[in-house]
């Protein structure tokens, strides 16, 4: 067996299980070894069944006494039961609709199980018990838990990994100098310890090395991308179109100083024979869209096409309308391509993009589908870039040769971090808001006071204004007791908002319906809009003056700041009301930051102190950065080291040309096949 052996030949796997493992992105032994645990259970802390509290998640050592027959319940569920004992004390393990679960247990055998405790009078039950391990296995006290699916059990997964580890030696792949300099453990030890750590110290050593390796590879990639861009000086040289003066004259407002400065920076980039790669940062409402429109217009007037990509359909549509409006005098062909475009129109648009009759195309990620082709794409703008990762960025830029790329974000990225995350980009910043903006009155209220808050919202509606209400969930979740869009919508319709038009939107809703509702809200027909965070970015309805956020403690500060930015866009005084559990000191303190400050940069820095960067930038969820083990904030010190070593390597004589660099990278990278296992 070697690292590239097919997973189906691993002992105990077989073709059926191999299929399930394939679904987790595991095809060969190497993939298996690089499928890192999500967490660890310290099983040295075992409990006596008598000490367990209701709803507690516990690890229990026990023996199987008997397996009862399945029972069909009235609600159509099937109940399976096992009687366990721990010493003289008996308790039950129960499963609903998982009749297969009991099959892993043998009568009279001893197990270590984990599950949630339920107590009714004297009877103790563990719900959905899972085997942590058969106690006959060797005595590791720290057990890895993996993000698994398709009925692969954690116990089984640990077992095949431990079998593989017994039969394989992993060769070192980091330069010797680096290993010695930082006293890293070997790759062989690191992989062993990450899966079945003999002690916490060894686990930490393994993590330190593997994180370094991950961040080292990541830094190398960014640096190489940057080098590649700089060395390919055959970008398109756009002239300054004379029509820019006309456009400037008919804009509905004067650009702010900061906007003009940024437009200039972009136009200068466009003139150069190097492709542009620029990140445009500007707080919510600072007016980034118009910058994109002006510079795309310049590209179009040079005879090229421009494309703009937005993270949500709602936002794409809004941009589309604004672009059409601002450029209406110039008879350009401007189109939108998104999930709700009919198949027939899609076909037409694709044809027209290919033949070059479309000047500007706006869209969602439908734009990066492989079969969208352009005649002569000159510039790409991606809005709210923090939602797209490095690989998406690359895929989009492959649509044309040396096209200019502008990425825009309202999530301010602290400089140190942007260097590492977007090290291949130049940065422009809009650091002022258009004149006349009023400060948004921000406050927090206890959830118990929500009727008062909705009363205030109703007053505003009666004055002709509109209201956003944001909830963390789409549907009710009994367990978490959080507000949901569906529930709140029903409640408001019955109660306080009985006589007014209320709408509801969420991400998974059919696009057509979503568009209809947003259109009605924009037109002022819908007065109150209940939604998830789909409206978080970019949506612009100046008549909306109240933003109510339910369970505000569930959101990150940067995200709340974004949401708040949906109001205060017109002439009327605006309000942001955060409904939360304010009895909690920490919650009050965090929300207090928003009340105190309106500066996105400050807020993001504060947020960074309490939350990981992955959450802040939405990288973690999308797995886009490819970082599995590391968190760019928590591990910033390792990131710094990794970055400096990567720089040294790139600049050294040993890595003189691109081929050599690529070879080095390939050797060091812990392959990429494990990155996509969504
Ligand atoms: P963001 O940077 O958050 O994307 P937008 O581009 O959506 O901001 O702009 C927010 C609002 O400000 C829009 O209604 C836009 O028309 C308006 N706006 C942009 N620039 C100016 C300006 N210089 N003066 C006045 N209003 C402006
Ligand atoms: Mg925007």
Here the tokens at position 82 are 């096992």
| Shortest-distance ligand to the CA of residue 283 | 1
Place 613 in a pLDDT band, splitting at 50, 70 and 90.
very low
Cβ atoms within 10 Å of 91's Cβ, excluding its own: 23
The pLDDT of residue 422: 65
Enter the tokens of residue 334: 């401007």
Cβ atoms of residues 485 and 532 within 8 Å = yes
Atom in ligand 1 nearest the alpha carbon of residue 565: 3
pLDDT: which is higher, 593 or 46: 593
Q: CATH topology of 39-145 equal to that of 440-597? A: no
Nearest ligand atom owner, CA of 322: 1
**How far does residue 569's CA lie from ligand 1's centre (Å)?**
8
Mean pLDDT of the chain, nearest integer: 84
Binning pLDDT at 50, 70 and 90, where does residue 536 land? low
Most confident of 1-15, 493-507, 607-621: 493-507
Helix (H) or strand (E) segment spanning residue 458? helix 450-462
**Residue 629 predicted with pLDDT over 60:** yes
Q: What is the CA radius of gyration of the chain?
A: 28
Of 197-211, 364-378, 406-420, where does the model show the most confidence?
Answer: 197-211
Residue having the nearest C-alpha atom to atom 17 of ligand 1: 287
Lowest pLDDT segment from 360-374, 407-421, 639-653: 407-421
Q: By three-state DSSP, how is residue 61 classified?
A: strand
- pLDDT band for position 122 (50/70/90)? confident
pLDDT given at position 651: 83
Q: What is the pLDDT of residue 375?
A: 92
Per-residue pLDDT at 300: 97
The residue ranking higher by pLDDT, 404 or 414, is 404
Residue 671's pLDDT band, with cuts at 50, 70 and 90, is low
pLDDT exceeds cutoff 70 at 656 = no
307 pLDDT more than 70: yes
What is the best residue among 250, 310, 315, 434 to mutate for testing ligand 1's pocket, by most ligand atoms within 8 Å of CB? 434
pLDDT bracket for residue 673 (50, 70, 90): very low
Dihedral of CA 389/666/401/348: which sign? negative
Q: Is 12 left (phi over 0), alpha (psi -120 to 50) or beta?
A: left
Task: Output the ligand 1 site: residues, CB below 6 A.
Answer: 253-256, 259, 282, 284-290, 410, 434, 538, 540, 569
* Contact yes or no for 134/159 (Cβ under 8 A): no
Instruction: Tell the CATH topology of 440-597.
Output: Rossmann fold (3.40.50)
More confident residue, 335 or 231: 335
Per residue in 281-296, pLDDT tens? 888 888 999 999 999 9
How many CB atoms sit inside 10 A of residue 249's CB? 7
Q: Give the start-to-end residue ranges of the domains of the chain.
A: 39-145, 440-597
Atom 10 (ligand 1): residue with closest C-alpha? Answer: 285
Instruction: From 252, 261, 282, 287, give the residue whose CB has the most ligand 1 atoms within 8 Å, as the site to mutate.
Output: 287
401 vs 473, residue with greater confidence: 473
pLDDT-derived band at 476 (thresholds 50, 70, 90) equals low
Please report the atom of ligand 1 found closest to the CA of residue 291: 6
Percentage above 90 pLDDT, the chain:
38
Cα gap 544→541, rounded to integer Å: 6
- Tell me how far the alpha carbon of residue 287 lies from the centroid of ligand 2, in angstroms: 7
**C-alpha closest to that of 253 among 284, 279, 289:** 289
CA–CA dist 34, 20 (Å, integer): 17
Which whole number is the average pLDDT over 106-122? Answer: 88
Which protein residue has the closest C-alpha to ligand 1 atom 18?
Answer: 287
pTM over 0.75: no
Specify the higher pLDDT residue, 222 or 388.
Answer: 222
Average pLDDT over residues 211-231: 78
pLDDT (tens digit per residue) in 432-454: 888 877 789 999 999 889 999 99
The answer to whether the Cα torsion of 194, 136, 147, 29 is positive or negative is positive
User: By C-alpha distance, which of 590, 628, 582 is closest to 608?
Assistant: 590
Residue with CA at minimum distance from ligand 1 atom 5: 287
* Spacing, Cα 601 to ligand 1 middle (Å): 18
Work out the pLDDT band at 506, boundaries 50, 70, 90. confident
| Residue that the structure tokens 């990140």 belong to | 279
pLDDT band at 386 (very low <50, low <70, confident <90, very high): low
CATH T-level assignment (fold) for domain 39-145 = OB fold (Dihydrolipoamide Acetyltransferase, E2P) (2.40.50)
Residue whose CB lies within 8 A of the most ligand 1 atoms, among 257, 259, 285, for a mutation test = 285
pLDDT in tens, 544-584: 999 999 988 888 787 888 889 899 888 899 999 999 988 88
């Amino acid at each position: 067996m070697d690292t590239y052996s097919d997973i189906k030949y691993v002992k105990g796997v077989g073709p059926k299980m191999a299929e399930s493992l394939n679904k987790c992105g595991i095809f060969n032994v190497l993939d298996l070894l690089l499928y890192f645990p999500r967490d660890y259970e310290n099983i040295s802390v075992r409990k006596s069944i008598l000490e367990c509290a209701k709803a507690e998640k516990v690890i229990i050592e026990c023996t199987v006494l008997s397996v009862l027959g399945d029972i069909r319940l009235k609600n159509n569920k099937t109940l399976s039961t096992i009687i366990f004992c721990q010493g003289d004390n008996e308790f039950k393990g129960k499963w609903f609709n998982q009749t297969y679960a009991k099959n892993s247990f043998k009568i009279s055998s001893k197990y270590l199980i984990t599950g949630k405790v339920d107590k009714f009078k004297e009877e103790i039950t563990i719900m959905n018990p899972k085997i942590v391990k058969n106690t006959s296995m060797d005595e590791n006290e720290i057990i890895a838990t993996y993000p698994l699916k398709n009925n692969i059990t954690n116990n089984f997964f640990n077992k095949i990994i431990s079998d593989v580890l017994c039969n394989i030696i992993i060769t070192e792949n980091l330069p010797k100098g680096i290993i010695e300099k930082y006293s890293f453990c070997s790759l062989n030890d690191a992989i062993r310890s990450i899966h079945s750590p003999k002690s916490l110290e060894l686990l930490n050593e393994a993590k330190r090395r593997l994180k370094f390796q991950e961040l080292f590879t990541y830094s190398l990639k960014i640096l190489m991308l940057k080098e590649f861009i700089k060395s390919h000086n055959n970008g398109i040289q756009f002239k300054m179109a004379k029509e820019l003066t006309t456009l400037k004259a008919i804009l509905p407002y004067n650009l702010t100083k900061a906007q003009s400065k940024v437009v200039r920076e972009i136009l200068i980039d466009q003139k150069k024979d190097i492709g542009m790669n620029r990140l445009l940062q500007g707080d919510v409402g600072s007016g980034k869209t118009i910058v994109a429109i002006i510079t795309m217009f310049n590209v179009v007037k040079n005879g090229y096409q421009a494309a703009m990509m937005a993270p949500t359909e709602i936002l794409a549509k809004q941009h589309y309308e604004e672009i059409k409006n601002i450029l209406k005098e110039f008879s350009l062909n401007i189109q939108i391509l998104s999930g709700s475009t009919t198949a027939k129109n899609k076909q037409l648009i694709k044809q027209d993009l290919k033949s070059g009759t479309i000047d500007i195309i706006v869209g969602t990620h439908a734009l990066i589908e492989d079969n969208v082709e352009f005649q002569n794409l000159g510039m790409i703008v991606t809005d709210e870039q923090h939602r797209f990762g490095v690989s998406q960025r690359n895929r989009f830029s492959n649509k044309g040769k040396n096209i200019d790329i502008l990425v825009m974000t309202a999530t301010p990225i602290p400089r140190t971090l942007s260097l590492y995350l977007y090290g291949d980009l130049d940065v422009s910043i809009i650091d002022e808001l258009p004149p006349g903006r009023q400060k948004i009155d921000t406050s927090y209220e206890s959830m118990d006071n929500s009727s008062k808050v909705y009363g205030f919202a109703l007053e505003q509606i009666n004055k002709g204004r509109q209201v956003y209400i944001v909830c963390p969930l789409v549907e009710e979740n009994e367990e978490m007791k959080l507000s949901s869009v569906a529930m709140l919508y029903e409640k408001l319709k019955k109660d306080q908002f009985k006589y007014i038009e209320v709408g509801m939107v969420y991400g998974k809703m059919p696009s057509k319906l979503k568009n209809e509702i947003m259109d009605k809200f924009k037109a002022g027909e819908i007065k109150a809009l209940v939604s998830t965070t789909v409206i978080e970015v970019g949506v612009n309805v100046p008549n909306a003056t109240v933003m109510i956020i339910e369970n505000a403690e569930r959101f990150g500060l940067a995200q709340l700041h974004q949401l708040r930015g949906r109001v205060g866009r017109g002439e009327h005084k605006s309000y942001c009301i955060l409904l939360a559990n304010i009895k909690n000191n920490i919650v009050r303190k965090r929300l207090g930051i928003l009340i105190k400050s309106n500066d996105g940069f400050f807020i993001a820095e504060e947020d960074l102190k309490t939350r990981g960067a992955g959450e802040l930038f939405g990288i973690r969820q999308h797995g886009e950065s490819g970082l599995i083990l590391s968190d760019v904030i928590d591990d910033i010190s390792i990131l710094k080291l990794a970055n400096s070593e990567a720089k040294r390597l790139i600049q050294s004589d040993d890595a003189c040309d691109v081929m050599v660099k690529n070879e080095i990278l390939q050797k060091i990278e812990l392959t990429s096949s494990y990155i996509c296992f969504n």
